[in-house]
Amino acid sequence: MFQHMFSSMNDMLNQIIEQYESAGTMERQQYKEQMLELKKMSDTFIEQWLEFEEKYADFNEEHGEPESAHEAASVPAQQSMPPAVEAVPCNLSDMEITDELAATISKGQGYYKLFMFSHAAQQFQVVIMQSPECNLARLFLGMTNMHLQNWSEAQRHFQLLISLTDFPKWLAMGYNALGCIQAVRMNLAQAEQLFRKAHEVCPSFKDPLNNLKSCQETPKQLSLYFGSTELCCL
């Protein structure tokens, strides 16, 4: 899982490095913001790894090195293992979050459905800060920023989402949202390309084709579908 995630992060960084020199002033600022987001994610994983190593070393010092499964096979179990702490699946990468963070996501979803987007964003941001690999929270946070018209912030989250998730529907929603952002900025050629990509990834998701049609037929009066209604089912 972590190998895949860091591979995706490296791919994003390589893309930024390749495009930075030819980018305009605003694009360079966006690239810098994306790099800061990648650095935050990297720092979070490093901190968690160091915490794990410290706990592992403390355990070994107190109890000795754990036996391998083969070595322990001949030793009768003295007691059954305690049940695992219940966690809530957050994405298709089999990452899990604690019950506390799951409750925070649920609270954010409640605010989202009530159109209280500023409050919703605060809840999803808490989850992302503590569990940056949580694609569900990132999907909601990106869409919440779309409704708040925080286009750069939404773009950053959806770019990370499409690099981290393998779920076709979420990929399509990410590409569709990125297409909407480009359409709002009147980069219609790039928007159309993203809408086509979204449809290609998940043909059953209809919003990208509607947005593509709007760009082609009524570019001066765009009617865009962010895909936010899909989140009501999550």
Share above pLDDT 90 across residues of the chain, in percent, rounded to a whole number: 36
Give DSSP secondary structure letters for 75-131. Answer: SPPSSPPPPPPP-EE-STT--EE-HHHHHHHHHHHHHHHTT-HHHHHHHHHHHHHH-
More confidently predicted of 33 and 46 = 33
Sign of the dihedral defined by the CA atoms of residues 124, 126, 130, 132, in that order: positive
Give CA separation, 56 vs 5, 51, 165, in Å: 23, 9, 30
> Measured between alpha carbons, how far is 103 from 34 in angstroms, rounded to an integer?
28
In 112-138, which positions are buried (b, 16+ CB within 10 angstroms) versus exposed (e)? beeeebeebbbbbbbbbebbbbbbbbb
Closest among 86, 97, 124 to 231, alpha carbons compared? 124
- Tell which residue, 86, 88, 98, 94, has the closest CA to residue 5: 94
Report pLDDT digits (tens) over 128-162.
Answer: 999 888 899 999 999 999 999 999 999 999 999 99
Per-residue tokens: 195: 């809408």
Taking the whole predicted model, whether its pTM rises above 0.85 is answered as: no
Name beta bridge partners: 148.
none
pLDDT in tens, 156-207: 999 999 988 888 999 999 999 999 999 999 999 999 999 999 999 999 999 9
Query: Which residue's structure tokens are 């690239």?
Result: 31
CB 205 within 8 A of CB 169: yes
Question: Average of pLDDT values for 41-63?
Answer: 69
pLDDT digits (tens, 9 = 90+) for 95-129: 567 888 888 998 898 888 888 899 999 999 999 99
CA angle 190, 171, 142 (to 5 degrees): 80
Measured CA to CA, the distance from residue 10 to residue 160 in angstroms comes to 12
The closest of 32, 11, 45, 226 to 140, measured between CA atoms, is: 226
| pLDDT tens readout for residues 168-177 | 999 999 999 9
